[in-house]
C-alpha cells in the first residue's frame, strides 16, 4: 500500500512531525512518500493520504488547505487522516485539542478518518515581527515523538483493516472446511 504524507509548514516544525509519521508508517511496511503539500499535483497511485498543517492565528497552513480543496474528489475516495501542529505548551500532550473550525469543515468535505493536534515548535530566533515577539516568551518544542509515533501506529492498524478485502478475509478464514 502506497501512502502520501504531506504537510504545510512555515518554519519546519510541522515538516518534522510529518517526517516522524512517514518513518513510523514505513517501519510498518508501507511505501511512503513525504512531500510538501504545495508540490503535489496528483494523488493518483496513493491508497491513503495524511495531511498536516501548522496553525497560525487559528488557521491551518495555506498549503494544507489548498491541497485538500484542490483534491477533494480524489481524497473522498481514499482514507485520509489530518493533523494540526500548534500549541506552544503542554495542552496537546494531556488533552485532545479539537480541530479548528476551518479544519473541521475540510474534514467533513472529504470524509476524513480522523484528526489530531500535536504540540508545536517555535525557535528562539524565529523570524518575523509577531513570531519573534512571541518567541521571547513562548519559544520551545512541544512536539512529543512518542505521541506522534503512537498516532501513526494507530493509523497503520486502521490501514491494515482497509487492506483486508473480502477475498483476503476469505483466505484468512477457511470456513469451507
Rounded to 10 deg, the angle between the 62-70 and 101-110 helix axes is: 20
Choose the binding region for ligand FMN from 50-58, 64-72, 108-116, 158-166 (rule: CB under 6 A).
Answer: 50-58
Residue with cell 501548522: 54
Q: Which three cell numbers stand for residue 173?
A: 478464514
Task: Kindly give, in sequence order, each residue whose CB lies less than 8 Å from that of residue 152, ignoring residues fewer than 6 positions away.
Answer: 20, 21, 24, 25
Q: How far is the CB of 145 from ligand FMN (least distance, A)?
A: 14
Nearest residue (CB) to ligand FMN, 146 versus 177: 146
Nearest-CB residue for ligand FMN = 86
How far is 33 from 4, CA to CA, in rounded Å? 5
Q: Determine if 99 is a binding residue for ligand FMN (CB under 6 A).
A: no
Q: Determine if 57 is a binding residue for ligand FMN (CB under 6 A).
A: yes
How far is 119 from 110, CA to CA, in rounded Å? 24
Q: How far is the CB of 125 from ligand FMN (least distance, A)?
A: 12
What's CA 13's distance to the chain center, in Å? 13
Choose the binding region for ligand FMN from 25-33, 52-60, 105-113, 160-168 (rule: CB under 6 A).
Answer: 52-60
How far is 122 from 67, CA to CA, in rounded Å? 24
Question: Pattern of binders to ligand FMN over 13-32, x per CB under 6 A?
Answer: xx------------------
How far is 53 from 44, CA to CA, in rounded Å? 21
Nearest residue (CB) to ligand FMN, 13 versus 79: 13
Which residues form the interface with ligand FMN (CB under 6 A)?
9-14, 54-58, 85-88, 120-122, 130-131, 134
Amino acid at each position: 500500500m502506497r501512502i502520501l504524507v504531506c504537510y504545510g509548514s512555515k518554519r519546519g516544525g510541522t515538516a518534522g512531525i510529518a517526517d516522524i509519521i512517514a518513518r513510523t508508517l514505513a517501519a510498518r511496511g508501507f511505501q511512503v512518500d513525504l512531500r510538501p503539500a504545495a508540490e503535489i499535483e496528483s494523488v493518483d497511485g496513493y491508497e491513503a493520504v495524511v495531511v498536516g498543517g501548522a496553525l497560525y492565528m487559528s488557521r491551518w497552513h495555506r498549503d494544507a488547505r489548498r491541497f485538500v480543496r484542490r483534491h477533494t474528489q480524489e481524497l473522498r475516495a481514499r482514507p485520509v487522516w489530518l493533523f494540526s501542529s500548534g500549541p506552544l505548551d503542554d495542552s496537546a500532550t494531556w488533552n485532545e485539542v479539537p480541530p479548528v473550525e476551518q479544519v473541521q469543515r475540510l474534514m467533513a468535505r472529504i470524509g476524513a478518518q480522523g484528526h489530531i493536534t500535536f504540540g508545536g515548535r517555535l525557535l528562539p530566533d524565529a523570524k518575523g515581527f509577531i513570531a519573534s515577539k512571541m518567541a521571547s516568551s513562548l519559544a520551545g518544542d512541544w512536539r512529543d515523538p512518542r505521541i506522534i509515533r503512537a498516532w501513526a501506529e494507530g493509523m497503520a492498524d486502521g490501514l491494515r483493516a482497509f487492506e483486508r478485502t473480502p477475498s483476503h478475509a476469505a483466505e484468512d478464514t477457511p470456513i469451507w472446511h
